[in-house]
Structure 1
Amino acid sequence: MSQEVDNIQPSYPLFRTDEYKENLANKREAYEERHPQETIDEVFQWTTSQEYKELNFNREALTVNPAKACQPLGAVLCALGFEKTLPYVHGSQGCVAYFRTYFNRHFKEPIACVSDSMTEDAAVFGGQKNMFAGLENAKALYKPDMIAVSTT
């Protein structure tokens, strides 16, 4: 390709060159299973029609099993099934905040779940210290009989 060590280009102008346009077109033809343009246009016309809008707005509420969202969420749900067990997620605070919000909405009550709130550095260079400190804190604060550890 046209990239050189002395002259690294950002993606926006680089992907606008003829060489890359040709490469992407060849890739699309050889490997992607693209629908014919007529089919794409037909679906677009229908999804922007009044009929589609009415069908969409007439849908009724849907119940979703929260354990099907992701595997770590299912692990937390499993841990909640054991008496006096605290789910402990080895991962970022964002994941646990998502799990707790998801379960609060589903079960309509607060859910106990903690994490070691790893940063990007801890995830890359090893989060063992975060995990040990987090487990000690969780044990001291909540005094569970068991801590179920899962990871994101």
Structure 2
Amino acid sequence: MNTVVLIGPPGSGKSTLGRLVAERLGVGFRDTDADVEAVAGKPVSDIFIEDGEDRFRELEHDAVRRALTEHEGVLSLGGGAVLHEATQALLAGHHVVYLQVGLTDAVQRVGLASARPLLVLNPRSQFRKLMEERRPVYERLAVMTVVTDKREPEELAEEIVKGLPA
């Protein structure tokens, strides 16, 4: 089985659905944000604050590269991982699923008071801008798009599994 890669903005359900899809397929689940935190020895929000976004993106790209090489199963990428051109190239040939979520649902899931470094000033406006900037990249990389608004995780996981190549 090739790796199933879940992409999408914060609040789209990548981690939740990743675990459910992996469970249904009987494979492992891996989250590149967790990999970055393990390598850096600190949370993503601290990496942004202490080391800057450029350093975080380097760590993130390395985490994606390693995961795509080492892991067969379901892989969840951080929301901005796809912005790195070399990461985009690495995704070619993988079953990339874009989890599309509307602003209202994403905000409810993420909560704008959480530690999201790119949402510090005027979180709702920043979040909308972030989603609009990234949407074309998500759409271009995806071989499958799943709309997650107002849907239960179990239903979404089933749709993803059914959409996988035989």
Q: Which category of TM-score, normalised to the shorter sequence, fits these structures?
A: under 0.3
Q: Report which of the two structures shows the higher radius of gyration computed on alpha carbons.
A: 1
TM-score (norm 1): 0.26
